[in-house]
Structure 1
């Protein structure tokens, strides 16, 4: 099933493109999207097309911060009806959990995980889109950063932001946008903050309005059934670098037993092994060409405890060693706009 995203993902695309001397209408047509979509935020469009549009816009304009410039203009209201529900959650932690619950209504390829690590919390964020590049990822993380800031105000002081891709030629815009340490070529995409920040009470939360918002969202027309295949893929993308992407862990994360998950996949002629292998292939293509990662690090990020096991798997999937793939790849180490 084709993964969809609300056209609201392109909010402010036209303004940023025009500022950079790029014709947004022509760009949308080239991507196979109608220009009217920008005025129809709840219209669903193919997530892959949106991802390719952002990468092409950055390449054409030479602006490596294109996606982040869009994020800088985003408001909480751009989440549509879900924004009311988010505004009235008792804490930022509950906001994030509520957002995760409703991600399928916003972007079926977006995955977010809240992971407590002692006194810190890691907010992992991934896009399960083969066409996803730095623009889509930076847009998604930038929007999450802005949302947390809108809800916490001056109390929102994350420790760091992390990207698995390399740094842009100029980090000036990134440093103005993120008021924290920025790590490129990191082990994950996402944010790190104090756990205590997520549990600060939201003085504006109104449970009556939150209940009203839930009922309004439940009554929305055209709500597609959540795809178990996409939900499993998203969980694997998030869990693979931590070494916890097992069938049992994914099932628990989705709130079901391992047997139930296997039965759901069987009904769709799918296996967990098949899905984890496909995710590994996608991430391998992203990481192996990035010379900033040594191949031992790539092996660990793909869930392998030894380099030899990773090399055997890679040879079976791609017909050559990861060293050979890297040395013969014409693609630069993720420094493209």
Structure 2
């Protein structure tokens, strides 16, 4: 069974309520837990998500439901992939990391950059769709996915990015003009695949505000996410904190986002393993502090900053608690 994070249902409750429907009744009818409406981190069957979108569109007589939901979704729903995207320095890097790691969000979805199907060398095609063979194309789910990709690119580039056309592999139930108003481009129906066609120069467009170090860090965590999600989480928290120290605030929300879990879920899993976030952070700071003190001659203020402490005086108090000695004594080897 292929699954998707329940973040894919962001905006469903509000959109259905706006249309006069009952979101909880609809998800229950498709075998989804009601909790999936209000949390991002449940893993639910992607076919059930597609089914509830189709059911809602039918019962509420809203053929453009997917487009409407897209207005209520943002990058944050992608967890650590969002961090990698936001800190990419070019749109090509955004597309590459999304193509590589979209499966972390949804196992059966893909986004790939391909040559233009019409042979125009000045155009690239962004192909979105279900990778599992034999599955029908979900109309509302595909509408939602293409709309989300379109709005994300527009936000990252800060303008209308030159979309040439939208290709749909079906005859949509909503009027074509609704799609063309949403995308601001011609829409072609009953094509071989779901595509956004854009200028090939778009891939090389630089993006402002990105942090290359955070992008690499997020990519490293995405690579780790491809492993066993059921494994003990405390070692992963420790590794995450070691990499975060000195780059960004080592807060539980940031760590949870990188590990694609809710902060409360992270706290519960750590408690089940007999530890807690604060305890792990303290241990990582202690170990990193000893390493810096005994292997470098960095100023104490710099060591404090590198382990995420705002003041040298706080660092001194921590050293007294950890080893019963000052940082200088630890550096001279006069502490246990």
The 3 A distance-change label for structure 1 pair 223 and 103 is farther
Contact preservation (8 Å) 1:6, 1:107: yes
Query: Is the counterpart of residue 23 in structure 1 residue 28 in structure 2?
Result: no
Instruction: Determine if contact 1:105/1:223 at 8 Å carries over to the other structure.
Output: no
Q: Match of 1:13?
A: 12
TM-superposition CA deviations, 1:65-115 (whole Å, max 9, x none): 011111122111221121011111121122011001111101111122211
CA distance, structure 1, for counterparts of residue 227 and residue 33 of structure 2: 20
Contact persistence 1:100–1:111 (CA under 8 A) = yes
TM-score, L = length of structure 1: 0.62
Q: Is the 8 A contact 1:48 1:132 kept in 2?
A: no
Task: From the superposition, tell whether residues 31 and 190 of structure 1 become closer, same or farther in structure 2 (CA, over 3 Å).
Answer: same
Relative to 1, partners in 2 of residues 1:188 and 1:15: Cα closer, same or farther, differing over 3 Å?
A: same
4+ residue stretches of structure 1 with deviation over 3 A? 215-225
Supply the distance in 2 between the matched residues of 1:61 and 1:195 (Cα, whole angstroms): 39
Matches within 5 A, 1:87-102: 87-102=86-101
**3-state SS, counterpart of residue 62 of structure 1:** coil
Partner of 2:310: none
Alignment correspondent of 2:104: 105
Which residue is 2:127 aligned to? 124
- Cα distance change of structure 1 residues 99 and 223 upon mapping to structure 2, 3 Å threshold: farther
Corresponding residue of 2:144: 139
Q: Deviations over 1:133-161 (max 9, x none)?
A: 21111111111111111111115221111
- For 1:65-214, what aligned pairs fall within 5 Å after superposition? 65-117=64-116, 118-128=121-131, 130=135, 132-214=137-219
Unaligned segments of structure 1, at least 5 residues: 226-337
Q: TM-score, normalised by structure 2?
A: 0.63
Find the aligned partners of 1:45 and 1:175 in 2 and give their Cα distance.
Answer: 32
- Asked if the contact 2:176–2:187 (Cα under 8 Å) also holds between the matched residues in 1, the reply is no
Could you tell me how far 1:214 is from its partner in structure 2? Answer: 2.6
Which has more radius of gyration? 2
Structure 2 contact 114–125 (Cα < 8 Å) conserved: yes
Pairwise CA RMSD = 2.0
Question: The residue matched to 2:127 in structure 1 has which SS?
Answer: strand
The aligned runs of 1:41-60 (5 Å cut-off) are 41-60=40-59
Residues paired across the two proteins, number: 224
Asked whether the 8 Å contact 1:51–1:131 carries over to 2, the reply is no
